[in-house]
Structure 1
Amino acid sequence: MPASSSPRPIRWGMLGTGMIARLVAADIPLVPGAEIAAIGSRRQSTADSFAAEFDVPVAHDSYEAVVHDDNVDLVFIATPHSRHAADARLAIEAGKAVLCEKAFTVNATEARKMAAAARKAGVFLMEAMWTRFHPTMSRIRRMVKDGDLGSISSVVADISTLRPTDPNDRLFARDLAGGTLLDLGVYPIALAFDLFGPPDDVMSTAQMGPTEVDEQSAAIFSYDNGPQFIWHASFRADAGRGLTIAGAKGRLRNDRDWWKGRPFTWIQENGERSTVGTTPEGNGYQFEIAHVCNCLRDGRTESPVMPLDESIAIMETMDAMRAAWGLTYPNDDVRG
């Protein structure tokens, strides 16, 4: 009998039932060999509702039950930022692989401890920077690194939305590490690291709201003998959500939702225009899902595309920005 060509199933256990968990759960069926084995919530009724909607066989009323479920290979952490470190540690100590939503943690100290714990336990750990795995963004990365645009001088990125201040919304909750930096700003920061590495100089600013979190933030990342990377994040207005990468031979432009892997327009120096990339099926998380599943099948404990040291370096950069703004969270020490 011929050997089966089907990949070894990777069984996902999910912590949290919010928007991100729902988007990822909807895309898991798009990936051969990926399946949701369990969902965990702090309320049984919420877990049951999620399980019914996404056809999950087991609904647990605690996160502890998910990480100790023998039918779970990988734990996906989709809880608020303030819980990431504790929830990841819970899964790592249970010997489970972990995919943790961005921002990876609240600060670099937590990130370093998480990485050290996973490395000591010999289990997989990765920050869920899903944008990096889109075929469109992979093509953009190759074009930049291969010099198709010539020497890059400028990158301008916006990630913004209009959300009225709501103290009951986690995005505005200081005790849950809310604010634009960790929720939105992490996307252009991760893109800057992906394309150019850590910046040589950072100038940043933020505007705080009544709940004492950053409702707007912006920065200029400067690279010696390289580009300026300018980004803006906001809850106060929709400023277009575009991205432009400009070089000596032309520019790449995305006019809407660039971090979701939408197509770019390549405008060459001679005025010729062409489209780079296609709109992905589903919500666009399937590429990250497939990458993580393949890492586990290959026995990897870190992703070569989103390595732990890079997640730590990104957190260090955000720590320095928050320190300059005077923004801290309860039980947070950005000096660590």
Structure 2
Amino acid sequence: MAERNVRWGILATGGIAAAFAADLVDLPDAEIVAVASRSHDPAKAFAERFGIPRAYGDWESLAGDEDIDVVYVATPHSAHRAAAGLCLEAGRNVLCEKAFTLNAREAGELVALAKERGSFLMEAMWMYCNPLVRRLKALVDDGAVGEVRTVQADFGLAGPFPPAHRLRDPAQGGGALLDLGVYPVSFAQLLLGEPADVMARAVLSEEGVDLQTGALLSWESGALASVHCSVVGGTGITASVTGSRGRIDVPDGFFHPDRFVLHRDGRDPEEFTLDPADGPRSSLRHEAKEVMRALRAGETESPLVPLDGTLAVMRTLDAIRERIGVRYPRETAAEESVTVQS
């Protein structure tokens, strides 16, 4: 693989799959060799759009294609366990969109399966691979703001989304938290690790998914994080990190920033901006490049997006959902099945 292109398969044909494919096409050492959907027509149309040689009308054919080095799973998160699991069972390496799964139990199953097969597995948390986010984390780790006291992050969309939309559909893991809240939670845990305690409140829809959720995360160090997500009100999508000797503000689009400002006590503010050579702020190329780097190095997970970190975020999302009373039909059905069997 070190001497040839990394060969990608794409599972699903929605908007995020198209955005990822467009960025892969621009990488000289990446090649998309196959795409799959649940039916042939959308797969064929996607293949024609991006010049992909093979289009499959089922997931199994893609998973079994031994010409593929790694599969990008871009389905809704309610299908991640099934789609990524199918690929891992077939011996494929996998990059899986976020939220990684519906819950921590499913995430643990995928991680265990990847380790059993010796396959690479990574959550597509592109924020963690963003060069400017990596710079921000390095500054915090180096003590630029002192000991971290608080983290704030929000992600809200104005909507409104109709009841039939996937964001309102419990069967598809709908709601603000898994689709948007995963970013503020992941941002806080990037800097502070897994919280010791979780408090949360939410406004739920008639369907039983969260329309907006606020959570307060706390750590043994005394640090606190306030995170918020919404599908009924557009927010600034901002973040800040306050420490004992300063503060970092990300003024907009914190999960793919083009700039942030470091305020150190007794010093003038310092602005850090995205290098134009790194491409547009919306680029997904950085996570793709990290996957390819890891595969060529023979690694089964990325140090930028470690599996333990993914599992920790899923546990926090589970804890928030427990506090706000959101459960998905598949989870309830699984519990009822266990009860009947016992």
Same fold by TM (over 0.5)? Answer: yes
For 2:131, which of 115, 129, 135 is the aligned residue? 135
Q: For residues 66-105 of structure 1, what are the structure 2 equivalents within 5 Å?
A: 66-105=62-101
Name the counterpart of 1:145: 141
Distance 1:227 1:53 in 2: 48
For 1:229, which of 208, 213, 225 is the aligned residue? 225
Distance 2:221 2:38 in 1: 51
**Structure 2: where are the runs of 5+ without partners?**
none
The aligned amino acid for 1:20 is I
Write out per-residue CA displacement over residues 126-180 of structure 1, whole angstroms, 9 at most, x where no aligned residue. Answer: 1111100011000000111100112222211111111113222211110011111
Distance 2:132 2:299 in 1: 25
Is residue 2–residue 296 contact of structure 2 (8 Å, CA) maintained in 1?
no
TM-score, with structure 2 as normaliser:
0.92
Write out per-residue CA displacement over residues 30-49 of structure 1, whole angstroms, 9 at most, x where no aligned residue. Answer: 33311211111122221122
Deviates more, 1:25-34 or 1:100-109: 25-34
TM-score, with structure 1 as normaliser:
0.94
Write out per-residue CA displacement over residues 282-313 of structure 1, whole angstroms, 9 at most, x where no aligned residue. Answer: 43211110000111111111222212222122
The aligned amino acid for 1:229 is A
Distance 1:262 1:180 in 2: 24
Is residue 7–residue 33 contact of structure 1 (8 Å, CA) maintained in 2?
no
Deviates more, 1:62-71 or 1:91-100: 62-71
Name the counterpart of 1:124: 120
Name the counterpart of 1:310: 309
Quote how far apart the aligned CAs of 1:318 are. 1.3
Distance 2:319 2:262 in 1: 34
Is residue 145–residue 242 contact of structure 2 (8 Å, CA) maintained in 1?
yes
Identity of aligned residues (%): 39
Pairwise CA RMSD: 1.9
Quote how far apart the aligned CAs of 1:25 are. 0.9
Quote how far apart the aligned CAs of 1:269 are. 2.1
Quote how far apart the aligned CAs of 1:274 are. 2.1
Quote how far apart the aligned CAs of 1:271 are. 5.3
Distance 1:127 1:249 in 2: 33
Is residue 135–residue 261 contact of structure 1 (8 Å, CA) maintained in 2?
no
Write out per-residue CA displacement over residues 200-240 of structure 1, whole angstroms, 9 at most, x where no aligned residue. Answer: 22111111112221110111111222421111100111121
Quote how far apart the aligned CAs of 1:8 are. 2.8
For 1:216, which of 202, 212, 219 is the aligned residue? 212
For 2:257, which of 234, 258, 261 is the aligned residue? 261
Q: For residues 7-86 of structure 1, what are the structure 2 equivalents within 5 Å?
A: 7-86=3-82
Mapped pair 1:322 → 2:321: yes
Distance 2:260 2:2 in 1: 34
Is residue 261–residue 284 contact of structure 1 (8 Å, CA) maintained in 2?
no
Say which SS state the counterpart of residue 177 (structure 2) adopts.
helix
The aligned amino acid for 2:308 is D
Is residue 73–residue 96 contact of structure 2 (8 Å, CA) maintained in 1?
yes
Is residue 36–residue 43 contact of structure 2 (8 Å, CA) maintained in 1?
yes
Write out per-residue CA displacement over residues 3-46 of structure 1, whole angstroms, 9 at most, x where no aligned residue. Answer: xx985311111111111111111111333311211111122221
The aligned amino acid for 1:253 is D
Distance 1:299 1:271 in 2: 44
Is residue 8–residue 297 contact of structure 1 (8 Å, CA) maintained in 2?
no
**Structure 1: where are the runs of 5+ without partners?**
none
Name the counterpart of 1:298: 297
Name the counterpart of 1:161: 157
Name the counterpart of 1:281: 279
Deviates more, 1:76-85 or 1:61-70: 61-70
The aligned amino acid for 2:202 is A
Closer, same or farther: CA 7–184 of 1 in aligned 2, 3 Å: farther
Write out per-residue CA displacement over residues 88-110 of structure 1, whole angstroms, 9 at most, x where no aligned residue. Answer: 11101111001110111111111
Distance 2:104 2:70 in 1: 23
Is residue 250–residue 257 contact of structure 2 (8 Å, CA) maintained in 1?
no
Say which SS state the counterpart of residue 331 (structure 1) adopts.
helix
Distance 2:101 2:2 in 1: 35
The aligned amino acid for 1:268 is R
Quote how far apart the aligned CAs of 1:255 are. 1.6
Closer, same or farther: CA 96–247 of 1 in aligned 2, 3 Å: same
Is residue 199–residue 323 contact of structure 2 (8 Å, CA) maintained in 1?
no
Say which SS state the counterpart of residue 305 (structure 2) adopts.
coil
